[in-house]
Amino acid sequence: MGTKGERTRSEIIEAAKGLFYRRGFGQTSFSDIVEQTGIRRGNINHYFRTKQDILKAVVDQRASEYRAILSDWDTRHRTPKQRLHRFVQMVAAYRHELTRYGCPIGTLCGELGKESWDSQNAARILFDVFCDWLTTQFEQLGEPTQARARALHLLGRAEGITVMAHVYGDPALVATEVSALEKWINGL
């Protein structure tokens, strides 16, 4: 696949990524992707036969982005506590987007976990990326047997308050919960 082909493929993935997030996976059609990119349906199908194929590429793309961010934090922040703080600060920084559309991972997994799709497995890896990384931080902080439970607790609290902020259209809810989480991290 030449350079132009790679660019076209990336353009399709980028458009689908945004549409799946803003509109939902089920409510995004090939026509929406055609409209947004200006790439003809036949050309899109040259790269992706089905919407599930596009989903897989979008999830891979998100997973790569997240891994790059976490790897950058590993380099920049020396202690596990600093890294945990960086994670909750990221949640706070995205609060306006989260309030508008919900969590990109949580809403996608919620939708794909219904029996109409039953393909939540396809997106679970995005939670794994954060859960594994958070588990490593909590392990390094001590009490390794508690590490995964703490990672899931932290992810759950970030997810949950994102749901409430999305429902009530109130980004301040995220900021309040992030403060509580920072205290919790400091106390560990």
Binding residues for a second copy (CB under 8 A): 22-24, 26-28, 101-102, 106-107, 109-111, 113-117, 120, 124, 127, 149, 152-153, 155-161, 163-164, 166-168, 173, 176-177, 180
Measured from the CB of residue 101, what is the shortest distance to a second copy in angstroms? 7
Nearest partner of 106 among 175, 158, 165, 171, judged by Cα: 158
Which amino acid type is present at position 61? Q
Residue 46: CB minimum distance to a second copy, A = 26
Closer to a second copy by Cβ: residue 71 or 179: 179
Q: Which is nearer to a second copy, 29 or 64 (CB)?
A: 29
* Nearer to a second copy (CB atom), residue 39 or residue 178: 178
Q: Report, in Å, the least distance between residue 5 CB and a second copy.
A: 30
- CB of 118 within 8 A of CB of 25? no
Using CA atoms in the order 100, 103, 108, 114, what is the torsion angle rounded to 10 degrees?
Answer: -90
Question: What is the smallest separation between the CB atom of 163 and a second copy, expressed in angstroms?
Answer: 5
CB nearer a second copy, residue 46 or residue 125 = 125
Looking at beta carbons only, is 147 or 159 nearer to a second copy?
A: 159
**C-beta of 165: minimal distance to a second copy in Å?**
9
